[in-house]
Amino acid sequence: MAAKKYDLKIITLINTIMQKHGNRYGTHRVIEPKGVLPQPANKLDNNMDEIYDNEILIDVQTLNIDSASFTDIHNYAKSQAKDPNNEAEVMEEIKKEMFLNVELQGKHRNRRTGSGGMLLGTVEKIGDALKGKIDLKEGDRIATLVSLSLTPLRIDEIINIKADVDQVDIKGKAILFESGIYAKIPNDMPEKLALSALDVAGAPAQTAKLCQSGQTVVIMGAGGKSGMLCCYEAKKRVGVTGKVIGLANSPKSTQRIKDLGFCDVVESVSGMTPVQVNELVAKLTNGQMADVTINCVNVPDCEMTAVLCTKDDGIVYFFSMATSFTKAALGAEGIGADVNMIIGNGYTKGHAEITLQELRECEKLRKVFEELYA
């Protein structure tokens, strides 16, 4: 028995010595081109047989695909299907596209939108260099708060596609780098509910930072996942002296945000009609326009609509991953709009806590999220 214990110690020591140390930002996983960070890299090493000593190996259950990315993949799948009205055929094309993304890149980054999403899974292994330095243990359930567009991923099987909520259940593995952020799944709400909210946690948290008492705030895509959270947070921040204008596209999303009652005004209008929306917002604000405009729309070509909603020296926050920086910057220049544009960073301090707290403190909001996503 003593000899077996001794042998086990030797094996553990050898494994520890042999485990390689990686760069905290994950550049050691970049195959091509060398020298860049994992997000802009064309291909990552997604070999999960061995991990570096400062990596976390995750057994993946669900991919929560970025809304702009999933919308694009779904539309692309319809264009590839022999019968675009055959849902089963479209689902198979979605699977092909997702497998191809990972095969070509070692991660799930949409090859057209460039965006990813996030994942839900179980911590399978923690590198020796991180043990005792992080608040995780093997077996913990977590949601990664970094994009799939920079996460080494292996998909072994796609089990189920939930197209209405942009979620895909899989069997697979993923790597979280030392610099990667995550949230433990809370025990007071269903996993899929927490995942759906954490996927867009940057939006309401940034809204909390940007909106102040008495301001007028326009939220584009108000009836969507990030839009609803932003509307709630915006109204809380601007108070009774402020005004929140929610713009939604489809009748369903328009009615949803109306029923929630977070907005002072809700209008149904397409984000791709900048002049029409400009005239509408001018009418609703007596020509004053918005102090803050938040773009949560998941389709392209809505950049100038957001700019035209906003007063000079106002703020435009582009949370949508369908945003083109070029269109926004050059378009604003072209019409002489002096606005401060913020490209949506999915991370801001405390974003997970702020977002989950919204679901805890607002029963109506939580109920809608449970019905749609949980």
pLDDT tens profile 4-36: 555 655 544 555 455 699 999 999 999 999 999
| In a shared domain, residues 142 and 207 | no
User: Domain ends where: 159, 185, 211?
Assistant: 185
More confident residue, 158 or 322: 158
| In a shared domain, residues 156 and 216 | no
| In a shared domain, residues 52 and 91 | yes
For the chain, give the number of residues: 374
The model's confidence at residue 298, banded by pLDDT at 50, 70 and 90, is confident
Residues 121-145, mean pLDDT to the nearest whole number: 96
Does some domain include residue 368? yes
pLDDT tens profile 215-274: 999 999 999 999 999 999 999 999 999 999 999 999 999 999 999 999 999 999 998 899
Q: Which residue, among 260, 63, 245, has the nearest Cα to 170 in the 3D structure?
A: 63
Does some domain include residue 130? yes
For helices 225-238 and 202-210, angle between their N-to-C axes, nearest 10 degrees: 20
Residues 191-203, mean pLDDT to the nearest whole number: 92
| In a shared domain, residues 283 and 145 | no
Does some domain include residue 311? yes
| In a shared domain, residues 282 and 360 | yes
pTM above 0.75, yes or no: yes
Report percent pLDDT > 70 for the chain: 95
184, exposed or middle or buried, with CB in 10 Å at 0-12, 13-18, 19+? Answer: middle
Does some domain include residue 10? no
The model's confidence at residue 322, banded by pLDDT at 50, 70 and 90, is confident
pLDDT (0 to 100) of residue 229: 97
pLDDT tens profile 83-97: 999 999 999 999 999
**How many domains, the chain?**
2
| In a shared domain, residues 171 and 212 | no
pLDDT (0 to 100) of residue 374: 75
- Ranked by mean pLDDT, which of 148-152, 296-300, 347-351 comes out on top? 148-152
Would you say 306 and 330 are in contact if contact means Cβ atoms under 8 Å apart?
no
Q: Is the pLDDT of residue 142 over 70?
A: yes
* CATH number reported for the structural domain that contains residue 364 in this entry: 3.40.50.720
Q: Is the pLDDT of residue 326 over 60?
A: yes
pLDDT (0 to 100) of residue 373: 84
Q: Which residue, among 130, 365, 137, 114, has the nearest Cα to 259 in the 3D structure?
A: 365
pLDDT (0 to 100) of residue 6: 52
pLDDT (0 to 100) of residue 299: 87
More confident residue, 288 or 300: 288
Does some domain include residue 235? yes
pLDDT (0 to 100) of residue 289: 98
Rounded to the nearest integer, the mean pLDDT of the chain is 93
Rounded Cα–Cα distance for residues 121 and 100 (Å): 22
User: Domain ends where: 185, 215, 234?
Assistant: 185
pLDDT tens profile 45-91: 999 999 999 999 999 999 999 999 999 999 999 999 999 999 999 99
| In a shared domain, residues 95 and 149 | yes
pLDDT (0 to 100) of residue 10: 56
Parallel, antiparallel or unpaired: strands 56-65 and 182-184: unpaired
pLDDT (0 to 100) of residue 286: 98
pLDDT (0 to 100) of residue 74: 97
User: Domain ends where: 139, 156, 185?
Assistant: 185
User: Which range marks the domain in which residue 230 is found?
Assistant: 202-373
DSSP string, 328-340: HHHHHHHTT---E
DSSP string, 139-177: T-EEEE-S-GGGS-EEEEEEEEEETTTTEEEEEEEEEE-
Rounded Cα–Cα distance for residues 204 and 289 (Å): 21
Does some domain include residue 196? no
pLDDT (0 to 100) of residue 198: 93
Return all residues near 110 (Cβ < 8 A) that are at least 6 apart: 66, 68, 69, 72, 73, 101, 116, 149
Does some domain include residue 173? yes
| In a shared domain, residues 24 and 72 | yes
pLDDT (0 to 100) of residue 19: 67
pLDDT tens profile 338-365: 999 999 888 888 999 999 999 999 999 9
